[in-house]
Amino acid sequence: MKTLVLVMKIIWRHRVRSMLTALGSAMAMFLFCFVGSIQSGLDDLIGQQEADRSLIVFQKNKFCPATSQLPEVYADAILEIDGVREVVPIQVFTNNCRASLDVVVFYGMPPEKVHEVRDFTLASGSWDAFLSQQDAAVIGSAIARRRGISAGDTFSIGEYSVRVAGVYDSENQAEENYIYTHLDYLQRGDDAKSDGLVTQFEIVLRESADPAMVQEQVDTLFAVGQVETDTRMKGAFQQKSLGDLMQMIRMSGYLGYGCVGLLLILLMTTTLMSVQDRIKEHAVMKTLGYSQSNVFSIVLLETAIIGIIGGAIGIAAAVMAIISSGLAIGAEAVTIAFTPSLDLVLTGGVLLASGSMVAGIIPAWVASRTSIIGALHAG
């Protein structure tokens, strides 16, 4: 306890240096959590997909939703396939098919189907208002925060302008970046060119259904039809849409760990400089009876406290910033939410604590090996 009190006094006596070092630690951990939240969002999306009993039917050899056009009447034929419980025609509109941090995605669906096939709850607004007005929409809470929208507002992008009937929350944070509106409204928004056509179908399977068999039957059914189809599990479809973006997110994980390495080097070098400046102080401590192990413990604890306090502030700031901003990155109408998961926070905390301790070992060893006579002469 006495050692801790002494260390806190040393930190306070050199408070400007300590604050700057803690600030560097905070920035490093902020970047670690910010980068890691993208990876957490991707893992969360993939985890949701694995448990999903859904197939997506898309036009064959098409990529961006704007290029896929399937006859809406395909739904009746798909519904007759054994194992299919529900078929939902979906018209998709997005303001950007490329990777972007500001993707807006509209999903046009039969209004009565939205609540049946999507697991979310309205945080504000009314389902009745959504069902009764053709240009009404329910929007995810993430995009509502990002765009400053609330229930009752009007939101416009491109040629579409919708009345926000409600704002919803979902356990799947990626889902909170979508806007759901009426299928008819999106179909007729482009001068009725899309009337009778949809971007894709979502097939909800029965528990006993074999996804691979249903997938093959759908594509075989329309192999000689008006438009050929490409059917995939919803997870596989979304991963294909994200494509190279997934690889970039995986690679960004190394950047996060690089931030932790930067933290270690920062703490080590600043503490070494502090030890060199206080060489006479350490010599006096030894003269007063402090052993090498005492000096080692003091410097090690000082480094750890500064690093942990600064890093903890950085982690907390990153979590609050990510939650309040509702950030997401998307491509081809599929979004990945920045997710500050508990695992990410715990991983950051463990790396912060261990890194701060490791960073203090060399400075502590240098301080503990100080020669009393040599240090006093140098001072």
Give the pLDDT confidence of 216-231 residue by residue, as tens digits. 999 999 988 788 999 9
Nearest to 267 by CA among 242, 300, 231: 300
Q: Where are the alpha helices (DSSP H) in the chain?
A: 2-13, 15-50, 74-79, 111-117, 127-132, 141-147, 183-187, 211-221, 234-242, 244-277, 279-287, 292-325, 342-359, 361-368, 372-378
**Residue 309 banded pLDDT, cuts 50, 70, 90:** very high
**Distance, first Cα to last Cα, the chain:** 30
Partner residues linked to 106 by β-bridges: 93, 179
Classify the C-alpha dihedral 49-52-58-60 as positive or negative. Answer: positive
pLDDT band for 118, please (50, 70, 90 cuts). confident
Nearest CA-CA partner of 181 in 154, 203, 205, 208: 154
pLDDT at residue 183, rounded to an integer: 92
Look at 3-7, 51-55, 163-167, 203-207 and tell me which has the smallest mean pLDDT: 51-55
Instruction: Provide the pLDDT for residue 378.
Output: 55
Provide the pairing of β-strand 70-71 with 197-198: antiparallel
Distances (CA, A) of 219 to 34, 58, 65, 110, 296: 41, 10, 18, 24, 70
Count of residues making up the chain: 379
* Residue 62, pLDDT above cutoff 60: yes
Tokens of 53: 């009993």
Mean pLDDT of 105-129: 88
pLDDT at 139: 94
Percent of the chain whose predicted confidence (pLDDT) is above 90:
31
The encoded tokens of residue 180 equal: 């759901």
**Alpha-carbon distance values, 317 to 42, 244, 320, 338, 348 (Å):** 21, 30, 5, 14, 13
Q: pLDDT: is 360 or 379 the higher one?
A: 360
pTM: 0.79
Q: What is the mean pLDDT of the chain?
A: 85
Tell me the CA distances in angstroms from 46 to 52, 57, 184, 234, one per residue in order. 10, 19, 31, 10
48-57, 264-273, 284-293: which has the minimum mean pLDDT? 48-57
Specify the 3-state DSSP secondary structure of 160: strand
Q: String of b and e for 136-153 (b: at least 16 CB within 10 Å)?
A: bbbbbbbbbbbbebebee
The token pair that represents 24 in the structure block: 């560097």
With the C-alpha atoms ordered 144, 147, 149, 154, is the resulting torsion angle positive or negative?
Answer: negative
Summarize pLDDT for 340-355 with one digit per residue, the tens.
Answer: 888 999 999 999 999 9
If residue 340 lies in a helix (H) or strand (E), which one and from where to where? none
